[in-house]
């Protein structure tokens, strides 16, 4: 599934983004205004608005030369659609709960998801203490995530000492992890762990 815009897998990329944007505010939007915010071609936005209006999820009203669009949250389909749109947030919660369980609270997790269905979910796991059976725990974690989300999982796993070695050896992924990866567990952010590893090296 597309973890950035999960609704895209079921209702289409343009419709999912249009609905997400309309839900962000209660004010009316023009098609052009929506297009600027969602980075989808204007023709695709207009087609999505027309389709959504045809089933009543969007109300469209012409005022002068402009057509304004609002979300119909009273529609019987809206609660189900909202569940789909917000499933990315639940996916983040699942990742955090799963790594906390399999690591018994001894690991911090950060992740990065490319936009698009079935793209690999890149995860970085930092262990506070090495439990001695990391491979088994990570395999259990990976299987659980893959079943729940449908995405292949790519895991990089280090203790702080191992992370320091990766920095010393010039691992090209370090900057990407620090810049792009979102911390998914409470406590110390991944960027702080990387800074700690750098400090360990005297950098």
The confidence score (pLDDT) of residue 59 equals 95
Q: How far apart are CA 199 and CA 39, in angstroms?
A: 40
Give the model's confidence band at 48: pLDDT under 50 very low, under 70 low, under 90 confident, else very high: very high
pLDDT at 78 exceeding the cut of 90: yes
Whole-Å CA distances, 201 to 4, 36, 131, 164: 35, 45, 24, 7
Q: How far apart are CA 75 and CA 136, in angstroms?
A: 46
The confidence score (pLDDT) of residue 68 equals 93
**Residue closest to 19 by CA, chosen among 54, 75, 70, 55:** 70
Q: Where are the domains of the chain?
A: 8-85, 87-200
**Rg of the chain's alpha carbons, rounded to an integer?**
21
pLDDT at 190 exceeding the cut of 90: no
Name the percent of the chain lying above pLDDT 90: 39
Mean pLDDT of the chain: 88
The confidence score (pLDDT) of residue 203 equals 61
Cβ-based neighbours of 64, under 8 Å, separated by 6 or more: none
Q: What average pLDDT score do residues 139-153 get?
A: 90
> Domain 87-200, what architecture?
2-Layer Sandwich (3.30)
First to last CA, the chain: 39
pLDDT at 165 exceeding the cut of 80: yes
* Topology given in CATH for the domain delimited by 8-85: Arc Repressor Mutant, subunit A (1.10.10)
C-beta neighbour count of 41 within 10 angstroms: 11
Count the helix, strand and coil residues of the chain and give each as a percent rounded to the nearest 5.
50, 20, 30
């Amino acid at each position: 599934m597309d973890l950035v815009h999960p609704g895209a897998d079921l209702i289409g990329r343009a419709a999912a983004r249009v609905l997400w944007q309309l839900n962000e505010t209660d004010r009316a939007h023009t098609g052009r205004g929506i297009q600027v915010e969602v980075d989808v071609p204007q023709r695709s936005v207009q087609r999505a608005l027309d389709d959504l209006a045809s089933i009543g999820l969007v109300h469209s009203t012409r005022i002068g030369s402009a057509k304004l669009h609002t979300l119909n949250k009273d529609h019987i389909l809206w609660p189900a659609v909202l569940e789909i749109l917000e499933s990315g947030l639940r996916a983040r919660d699942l990742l955090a709960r799963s790594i906390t369980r399999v690591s018994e609270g001894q690991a911090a997790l950060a992740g990065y998801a490319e936009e698009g269905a079935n793209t690999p979910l890149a995860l970085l796991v930092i262990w506070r203490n090495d439990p001695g059976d990391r491979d088994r725990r990570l395999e259990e974690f990976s299987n659980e995530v893959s079943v729940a989300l449908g995405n292949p999982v790519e895991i990089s796993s280090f203790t702080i000492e191992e992370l320091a070695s990766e920095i010393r050896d010039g691992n090209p992924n370090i900057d990407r992890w620090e810049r792009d990866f979102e911390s998914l567990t409470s406590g110390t952010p991944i960027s702080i762990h990387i800074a700690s590893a750098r400090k360990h090296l005297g950098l």
